[in-house]
């Protein structure tokens, strides 16, 4: 297997930390680079299928962002073009596909206070402690509603879209989820290391 570099390495680390990730496959030009939670033969088929879907011209006519696709089912499937010819196909917990996808794209939210990108940011459920994608609003494991979380760069209390919370909203909501981010330099931001 090839050594992952740059964005593919960050995506791999990000997905492996999330408690919602069942498995993922990273491919490049149809060749497998990394398998997580799946055998190599199944991974090759899954990765090839995901890469083929994204490369399809039909998808670009159906979707605004032809680099990312979320398939919702008993488990969600996220297919994302990482860069150039590198793709990831991930199977995640039901109801979390869009949160995972938003954390992988350039459209990820930014902190409304400091402007920090929240791409590859993980939050911890304040009730059960599971690691979740930043934009998650309901924990798929315990059902906890997560209204607010902290920005890993400035510690501001913000909502899932990055908007700063008003004081009265914070008082009414109770707990605030902690968070940390991954960077391409391979270091976590926000107090936790990888």
Of residues 12 and 6, more confidently modeled: 12
pLDDT band, very low/low/confident/very high, at 40 (cuts 50, 70, 90): confident
DSSP secondary structure of 121-132: EEEE-TTT--EE
Assign 61 to helix, strand or coil: helix
- Given a cut of 70, whether residue 62 has pLDDT beyond it is no
Identify which of 49, 132, 41 has the alpha carbon closest to the alpha carbon of residue 93: 132
What mean pLDDT comes out for the span 45-61?
69
Q: What is the pLDDT of residues 63-72, one digit of tens each?
A: 555 678 788 8
Q: Are 74 and 94 in contact (CB under 8 A)?
A: yes
pTM of the model: 0.80
Domains, the chain, ordered by start: 6-94 (3.30.450.30), 108-194 (no CATH)
pLDDT of residue 3: 58
Q: What is the dihedral of CA 22, 33, 68, 107, to 10 degrees?
A: 90
């Amino acid at each position: 297997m090839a050594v992952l570099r740059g964005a593919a390495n960050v995506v791999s680390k990000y997905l492996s930390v999330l408690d919602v990730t069942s498995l993922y496959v990273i491919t490049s030009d149809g060749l497998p680079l990394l398998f997580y939670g799946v055998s190599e033969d199944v991974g090759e088929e899954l990765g090839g299928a995901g890469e083929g879907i994204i490369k399809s011209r039909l998808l670009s006519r159906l979707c605004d962002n032809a680099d990312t696709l979320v398939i919702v089912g008993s488990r969600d499937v996220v297919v994302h073009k990482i860069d150039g010819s590198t793709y990831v196909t991930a199977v995640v917990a039901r109801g979390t596909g869009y949160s995972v996808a938003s954390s992988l794209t350039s459209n990820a939210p930014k902190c409304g206070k400091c402007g920090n990108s929240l791409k590859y940011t993980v939050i911890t459920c304040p009730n059960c402690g599971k690691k979740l994608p930043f934009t998650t609003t309901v924990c798929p494991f315990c059902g906890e509603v997560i209204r607010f979380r902290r920005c890993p760069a400035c510690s501001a209390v913000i909502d899932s879209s990055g908007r700063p919370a008003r004081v009265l909203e914070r008082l009414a909501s109770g707990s605030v989820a902690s968070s940390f981010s991954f960077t391409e330099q391979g270091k976590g931001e926000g107090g936790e290391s990888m």
